[in-house]
Amino acid sequence: MVVATDIDYAGSGLTLQQAMVAHAKRHPDKRSRPETILWGKLRVRTSDFIHVPSEGIVRLELLTSSQAIRQGVDLKVDGWIELVGGEHVPLLRTWQDEQFEDVVEYPLFAKDGLLWTWNVYEMTYPGGQKVEEKWTENAGFWVDVIGENERVYHCSHGMASPPDFDSFVYKLTIRSK
């Protein structure tokens, strides 16, 4: 929903991250700050959280990915995500890679009932140095809320100019254990 006080940053000449900073300065109180910025007709953000049961299952589906840049997704909880071998990690990074499955499921334990997510990507700098990044330049996404426990994320990586929200798309589904 667009509100009369919204600024559409799409034509501003700013990157998504510069627009996010401008948005934060415009709304200094974090408690009342809108979680998204307006970019064209889209509500864009850099991270998202989903309410989850304290013990549940997260299903991650990597739907589409531009082959031009390595992209992936981070999942984070105050607690743990259980890997296949039984190891518990609070942060799981999953890369889209044709050598691996595009659909994975993991048990999770979330002390505060929240699962956080954001997109990640690999940037290549002059000289060939590769760095895993998040939240830079034109990185961000818009969220298609399918249901209370299901969302699709349409992501732009940081090097996209202008932002390309079709460059990486993933879906999260949460269910009780």
Distance of alpha carbon 172 from alpha carbon 150, whole angstroms: 6
Strands, DSSP E only, in the chain?
37-39, 42-45, 48-51, 55-65, 71-82, 88-95, 103-124, 130-133, 140-147, 150-156, 168-176
Q: How far is CA 36 from CA 102, 151, 160, in A?
A: 28, 16, 19
> Tens digits of per-residue pLDDT, 125-168?
889 889 999 999 999 999 999 999 999 999 999 999 999 999 99
Dihedral sign for Cα atoms in the order 121, 125, 129, 131:
negative
Domains belonging to the chain, first-starting first, are 9-44 (no CATH), 48-176 (2.60.120)
> Tens digits of per-residue pLDDT, 4-63?
468 999 999 999 999 999 999 999 999 999 999 999 999 999 999 999 999 999 999 999
Q: pTM for the whole thing?
A: 0.93
